[in-house]
Chain A
Amino acid sequence: MAQRILFTAGLILWASLLFGEGTLPRRGGTYHYTLGPSDPPSLDPAHITDTVSHAVASELYDGLVSLDRDLKVQPAIARRWVVSGDGRIYTFDLRPEVRFHNGRSVTAEDFRYSFERLLHPETQSERTWILEKLQGAREFMAGKASTLAGIEILGPHRLQLTLERPFAPFLALLAYPAASVVPREETARWGRQFSTHPMGTGPFRFREWRHDDRVVLDANPDYFQGAPYLDRIVFRVIPDEMTRFQEFKAGRLDHSDIPTGLFQMVRDDPTLSRTLFSGPSLGINAIQFNLERPPFRGNPKLRQAFNHIVDKEAVAAVILEKRVVPARSILPPGMMGHNRDLQGYPYNKALATRLLAEAGHEGGKGLPSLTFHYNTGLVNRKIAEFVQGMLREIGVTVELREMDWPAYLNLLDRGDVQLFRLGWLADYPDPENFLTVLFHSRNRGSKGNLSRYANSRVDALLDRADAGLSPLERTRLYREAEKIIVEDAPWIFLHYYSTDVLIQPRVRGLREQISAMDSSPTLGNVQMRMVWLETEGG
């Protein structure tokens, strides 16, 4: 009897492993990945500023640390680290078995080279801010020092980084692609063209790049964290969202994004809805006021009136097909410090009318002609028209002006705007990346604070929070700062972003990994080495 029970149990286990959710991962196959509309501008970590390049680079390179699905810092090339009591000195022990794709072992010296390369003026990196907190970084960047004082080599596989002053998100910053290790011999060999001949330590190796068509990576069987299940990834550049959608439906893409306006259709479709993944994203969309120009300068009631008349629930429901959550604050859900108690500015026409009158502009009287700028994009245009209509309800007339992204950024830098749309996606999962970058007065202008908000009390709170060592204390300080900022209403807080992806049923190990730092269709934080394909095809 006991034998029969054991035999039956074994049979069930075998069948469940073979056919069920617990099926053992299958090795082999090519994953067809779409990068969306654009070719990666660069695969040199020192020049990566966009999610497209990030998605490819994250499979080619490693840094000292990486982020897991819950956005916690986890070991990568560094197997462990110690932070000094004052929060300034980080000592890393590196794994000795890590090798570049050319076979050479990675040492602490390679990190010194990679970090100095990033900051060196000759590299012209757009991402120097990743490491500018290191001691002596400013002097090194200005060419006043020949070495970077904040890096010390303690042994072939031991590295010490010293910060100018304590900076709590520093470890999360090190997970950014710009802090990856690169082989000196390859960067010297290729010079600026290293961007198209990338080589790192990652789970996949560079094979081919046919510009504006595809990038192909092959599995690295010697990867120090274990070989990928996949043999190859083909990253395809497909500019049109409807074409991507058709390619996905035909099974020629293993995941894809959803074309604008089709989210509801996908959700209602019995087949497509089974392939849908929706999750929150660490990002916020907003309409910002220029606080250095009239009529919004020094007039919080006017800004609050504008906030109350814009119906964020309607924007989320009508324009964005309920794929996003209306915003009531700055820090999105999933971010440390997100405060559910903040109520933001719900739609309230009566209150908006009253606040407008109290601001000295009853029924819109006395307001100068207003222009609302936004960057090119169908959703942006729809939102702008929607907002224009709602403001008209309280007698405010705004003219809409659309611009392409580079011209738009130049305009915002100059501050020649009154009212403008601008979103923000997290570079790293820390409140500092939202509150300090976007609202600290030292970052006014192109450094991030484009609404030019300035509040000395908020600055002081943010400075303390950024340098804090206790997560609880930091959370408390950020929440206090955020509450003041929301009350000051420098923005109209529209909605938090979401990530919506269609994933083929044969793809395994992807859904479980998508985090709030991923955006669709480029899932830059996902580790593709953990993904496998249940069947051939595509």
Chain B
Amino acid sequence: MRRYLLSRCGQAVPVLFGVTLIIFLLTHVALGDPVRAMMGQRADPEVMARIRAEYGLDKPLWHRYVLYMGKLLVGDLGYSYRQGRPVSQTLAERLPATVRLAVAAMVVAIVLGMAAGTVAAVRHNTAADLLMMTFSLLGISTPVFWLGMMLILLFAVSLGWFPISGYGDGALGHLVLPALTLGALQSGYIARMTRSALLEVLRQEYVRTARAKGLSERVVILKHGLRNGILPILTLAGIGLGDLLVGAPLTETVFAWPGLGRLLVAAVGNRDLPVVLGATLLFALIYLGANLVVDLAYALVDPRVRLTE
């Protein structure tokens, strides 16, 4: 296990190196001049040139990349052009809000998605199956902007059960509506995957044997069905959690949630290149981490899976 983990970490190094190179090139070439964005509409070319020189933006691209990597290797992500603060501090500030929302949304998605998928599989080709799959399709295809606003109008404005927006010092009430909005999308995918995985498993001989032994349908479904069909669901949930952790800018926008997604969108809009680079690197790390966790979870869930290098 330890060797496996070390090997996976070793594999991550070239991936991260590649990510820095691609993102550095993309941000510096495609996003254009960050100094112009900082200056506002009226800008003196002489002052702009001075600020560019101060930030090292007058140096050739390769030189800037070498300088960036030199700092990165000692853990320095640089300073935000806009706020003058260390990028690491900016990212660390957003992480708690992002993790809270991602985990809560994933709990919603797993509970709703697996329940709906199981009902659909067990009641295969019935009205219940059709209803569950229709809901899952709606979950996948409903724009989060619209769903978020509808939830606000119903639960916050009309019923007054939850606050409309904001982080609210981390109060649970503030988390409910954004988590439901974000979870609804993921639950649709999980429901469909659960249904197809369970249908596949329920056709197996060992399920017939379990039923023949006289086990209750609940035990058959939960112990023999879901447990054996969970691997693809686990993969989907793991990658989905990765998706949620790298931020959900639309949901964060509707609910004024101070997460990483909004940070990155704003940084791109402001051409705050150090923040764009830092956030993207963090996202790459999160995805690598999510994939690793999924692989480790395989071994825990399915004893047939062995982790090798």
Q: Could you list which residues of chain A lie within 8 angstroms of chain B, going by C-beta atoms?
A: 38-39, 41-42, 44, 47, 49-50, 121, 124-126, 128-129, 141, 191-196, 210-214, 236-240, 242-243, 246-247, 249-250, 252, 404-407, 409-410, 413, 422, 424, 427, 437, 445-448
Which of A38, A41, A246, A424 sits near B83, CB closer than 8 Å? A41
In the complex, what residues of B have CB within 8 A of residue A424's CB?
41
Q: How many whole Å from A178's CB to the nearest CB in chain B? A: 11
B153 proximal to A (CB < 8 A): yes
Contact B157 A250 (CB under 8 A): yes
List 17 A-B residue pairs with CB atoms under 8 Å apart, sorted by A's residue number: A39-B266, A41-B83, A44-B84, A47-B84, A126-B43, A129-B42, A192-B85, A194-B84, A196-B83, A196-B84, A212-B266, A236-B166, A238-B256, A246-B153, A406-B34, A406-B37, A446-B36
Q: Mark B18-40, 1 if CB is under 8 A from A, else 0.
A: 00000000000001111011111
Closest 6 CB pairs of A and B: A192-B84, A406-B37, A212-B258, A49-B40, A213-B258, A41-B82
Contact A246 B156 (CB under 8 A): yes
Q: Which residue of A lies closest to B39 (CB)?
A: A126
CA of A134 to CA of B149, assembled, Å: 52
In the complex, what residues of B have CB within 8 A of residue A210's CB?
167, 258
Contact A243 B254 (CB under 8 A): yes
Which of A41, A192, A409 sits near B79, CB closer than 8 Å? A192
In the complex, what residues of B have CB within 8 A of residue A247's CB?
164-165
Contact A446 B37 (CB under 8 A): no
Q: How large is the interface on B (under 10, 10 to 19, 20 to 34, 35 or more residues)?
A: 35 or more
In the complex, what residues of A have CB within 8 A of residue B82's CB?
41-42
**Chain A interface mostly:** mixed
CA of A92 to CA of B37, assembled, Å: 35
Which of B40, B45, B83, B165 sits near A243, CB closer than 8 Å? B165
Contact B152 A121 (CB under 8 A): no
Contact B256 A213 (CB under 8 A): yes
Contact B157 A246 (CB under 8 A): yes
Contact B38 A49 (CB under 8 A): yes
Q: Which residue of B lies closest to A248 (CB)?
A: B164
In the complex, what residues of B have CB within 8 A of residue A39's CB?
266
Contact B45 A445 (CB under 8 A): yes
Since A243-B254, A407-B31 are in contact, a sample of 14 more A-B pairs with Cβ atoms closer than 8 Å, ordered by chain A residue number, is: A41-B83, A129-B42, A191-B84, A192-B84, A194-B84, A210-B258, A212-B262, A239-B256, A243-B165, A246-B164, A406-B270, A406-B271, A410-B33, A447-B44
In the complex, what residues of A have CB within 8 A of residue B269's CB?
404-406
Contact A409 B44 (CB under 8 A): no
B50 proximal to A (CB < 8 A): yes
CA of A180 to CA of B128, assembled, Å: 67
Q: Which residue of B lies closest to A406 (CB)?
A: B37
In the complex, what residues of A have CB within 8 A of residue B47's CB?
125-126, 128, 141
CA of A249 to CA of B157, assembled, Å: 9
Q: How many whole Å from A105's CB to the nearest CB in chain B? A: 28
Contact B258 A211 (CB under 8 A): yes
Contact A409 B167 (CB under 8 A): no
CA of A50 to CA of B269, assembled, Å: 14
In the complex, what residues of A have CB within 8 A of residue B270's CB?
41, 406
B235 proximal to A (CB < 8 A): no
Q: Could you list which residues of chain B lie within 8 angstroms of chain A, going by C-beta atoms?
A: 31-34, 36-45, 47-48, 50-51, 54, 79, 82-85, 90, 93-94, 145, 149, 152-153, 156-157, 163-167, 252-256, 258, 262-263, 266, 269-271
In the complex, what residues of B have CB within 8 A of residue A237's CB?
256, 258
In the complex, what residues of A have CB within 8 A of residue B79's CB?
192
CA of A38 to CA of B82, assembled, Å: 12
The interface centre, meaning the residue of B31, B39, B157 with most chain A CB atoms within 10 A of its CB, is B39
In the complex, what residues of B have CB within 8 A of residue A422's CB?
41
Contact A124 B50 (CB under 8 A): yes
Q: How many whole Å from B251's CB to the nearest CB in chain A? A: 10
Q: How many whole Å from A88's CB to the nearest CB in chain B? A: 22
Contact B45 A447 (CB under 8 A): yes
Contact A121 B50 (CB under 8 A): yes
In the complex, what residues of A have CB within 8 A of residue B33's CB?
406, 410
In the complex, what residues of A have CB within 8 A of residue B266's CB?
38-39, 212
CA of A121 to CA of B33, assembled, Å: 20
In the complex, what residues of B have CB within 8 A of residue A196's CB?
83-85
CA of A212 to CA of B166, assembled, Å: 9
Q: How many whole Å from B113's CB to the nearest CB in chain A? A: 27
Contact A240 B256 (CB under 8 A): yes
Contact A236 B256 (CB under 8 A): yes
Q: How many whole Å from B169's CB to the nearest CB in chain A? A: 9
Q: How many whole Å from B157's CB to the nearest CB in chain A? A: 6
CA of A127 to CA of B50, assembled, Å: 13
Contact A240 B253 (CB under 8 A): yes
In the complex, what residues of A have CB within 8 A of residue B149's CB?
242-243
In the complex, what residues of A have CB within 8 A of residue B40's CB?
49-50, 126
Which of B84, B167, B252 sits near A195, CB closer than 8 Å? B84
Which of A128, A193, A243, A410 sits near B256, CB closer than 8 Å? A243
Contact B51 A124 (CB under 8 A): yes
CA of A125 to CA of B84, assembled, Å: 12
Contact A252 B44 (CB under 8 A): no
Q: How many whole Å from A37's CB to the nearest CB in chain B? A: 8
Contact A446 B48 (CB under 8 A): yes
Q: Known contacts being A211-B90, A405-B269, A446-B48, is A126 close to B157, with CB within 8 Å?
A: no
CA of A284 to CA of B255, assembled, Å: 32
The interface centre, meaning the residue of A124, A129, A191, A410 with most chain B CB atoms within 10 A of its CB, is A124
Which of B34, B37, B43, B164 sits near A405, CB closer than 8 Å? B37
CA of A126 to CA of B44, assembled, Å: 9
CA of A325 to CA of B51, assembled, Å: 39
CA of A237 to CA of B79, assembled, Å: 22
In the complex, what residues of A have CB within 8 A of residue B157's CB?
246, 249-250
Contact A49 B256 (CB under 8 A): no
Contact B93 A211 (CB under 8 A): yes
Q: Which residue of B lies closest to A125 (CB)?
A: B47
Q: Known contacts being A213-B166, A240-B256, is A246 close to B42, with CB within 8 Å?
A: no
CA of A504 to CA of B152, assembled, Å: 21
CA of A174 to CA of B166, assembled, Å: 36
